[in-house]
Amino acid sequence: MSGQSAINPIRGRGKIDFYLLSSPDTPYMETDLAPTNFGQITAGFDLSDSSDWKLNFDTPQFDLQPIAGLFPGMNLPTGLLKLRGNFRGTPGKPTGQLQFDILRPGFAEVRLDSIMGRIRLEPRLVSLERLGIYSNANQTWAEGSVELKKSEQGFPTATGNSSITALAEGDELDTRMLNPFLSEALHFEGFASYKIEASGKISDPKINGYFRLRNGNLQIAESTPAVQKVEIDARLTNSNLQIRNISGRIQKTPFKLQGEIQTEDWQQFDTRMVLNVAGKEVLNGSGIISEQALDLDFKTHNFDLSFLHSFMSQVTEIRGILNSS
């Protein structure tokens, strides 16, 4: 690591150039104790006025691959990252912004064109002004804000009474990019399109939108049959979830699930579900789910329990026909 600076106790500017040394047994490194060009940070600060601190920083584009190679178990993204930002004020009354760009980001087997975002901080508000994910001709983006309240210690913080706004929209998002964040044994793929809008309080948000998935495949574990040709069509209206369709195949058997989940306070959920397997209704249920109680009424007719094996990775085998009323 090398650097240069011009710093006194309250004001200064500095630059740090740094790189990683790799060895043959370092994961994902091919060089032999050779320096790898890595990155640079430049920053300036002014603390001469205790009521108005100033900080600026900038990093030219640097490669994330060496970081991902050092921590293979963390499933970190790869790509070329650039950061820049600033801060002004005090911890009790801050303002600032952070902007980041990742060129050619990678998540496991998924490769994208770019990711870019901008976050703005104000004394009473933190805003995601834009988060964009770009892949081929498709785009996924989000924006939103959270109101900040003053804590007992005098610092801005989010509480259950903080107001929120959020909007997220995506088209044909490759869901394989989620696999690094899921269980190692679980594999999920498909193409998702969605739009979600949220407003109100953190403790009682009002959410509207839709979610659709096509060409989905889900494998919970190597020992369980895969759920194939998964199609999902779900809608949120005033925080009520309507499952228009969840369908797919387990081995050669098709299934379809429809239902509705309603809530007024995000504490208690009224549910209604109907499951058809191979074109016949095998399960019909309704009831209430809450943190304090579970009150469900299910009726089954010739329900082949082997259907559940795909969702029960800890069970070696399950067989039988269930009837109840």
pLDDT at 148 over 90: yes
Report DSSP state, residue 308: G
Assigned token pair, 12: 């200064």
How far are the Cα atoms of 11, 43, 46, 63, 99 from residue 53, in angstroms, in the given order? 10, 14, 6, 31, 20
What pairs with residue 308 in β-bridges?
none
Q: How far apart are CA 295 and CA 287, in angstroms?
A: 5
What is the DSSP track for 154-202? Answer: S-EE--TT-EEEEEEEEEEEEGGGGGGGS-TT-EEEEEEEEEEEEEEET
What stretches of the chain show up as alpha helix (H) in DSSP? 65-70
Q: How far is CA 281 from the centre of its chain?
A: 35
pLDDT at 246 over 90: yes
Report DSSP state, residue 90: E
Among 155-164, 204-213, 263-272, which is the least confidently predicted range?
263-272
Measured between its terminal Cα atoms, the distance across the chain in Å is 71
Is 277 in a helix, a strand, or coil?
Answer: strand
For the chain, give the mean pLDDT. 82
- Total number of residues shown for the chain: 325
Rg value, the chain, Cα: 25
Average pLDDT value for residue range 201-228: 90
Please, what is the Cα angle at 75 between 228 and 168, to 5 degrees? 65
Helices vs. strands in the chain: H and E counts, helices first? 1, 22
- Return the pLDDT at 10: 66
What pairs with residue 132 in β-bridges?
116, 141
pLDDT tier, 17 (very low <50, low <70, confident <90, very high otherwise): low
Residue (of 166, 116, 109) closest to 142 by Cα position: 166
Among 29-43, 200-214, 235-249, which is the least confidently predicted range?
29-43
Q: How far apart are CA 194 and CA 211, in angstroms?
A: 4
For 46-82, the pLDDT digits (tens) are 766 667 788 888 888 878 887 777 776 677 788 898 9
pLDDT at 249 over 60: yes
Q: Which residue has the tokens 């490759």?
A: 174
- Return the pLDDT at 101: 94
- Return the pLDDT at 26: 46
Would strands 294-304 and 280-290 be described as parallel, antiparallel, or unpaired?
antiparallel
Residue (of 41, 38, 39) closest to 13 by Cα position: 41
Is the model more confident about 193 or about 111?
A: 193
Would strands 35-46 and 253-262 be described as parallel, antiparallel, or unpaired?
unpaired
What is the DSSP track for 92-122? Answer: TEEEEEEEEEEEEEEETTEE-SEEEEEEEEE
Contact 119, 101 (CB under 8 A): no
- The phi and psi torsions of 77 (rounded to 5 degrees) equal -70, 155
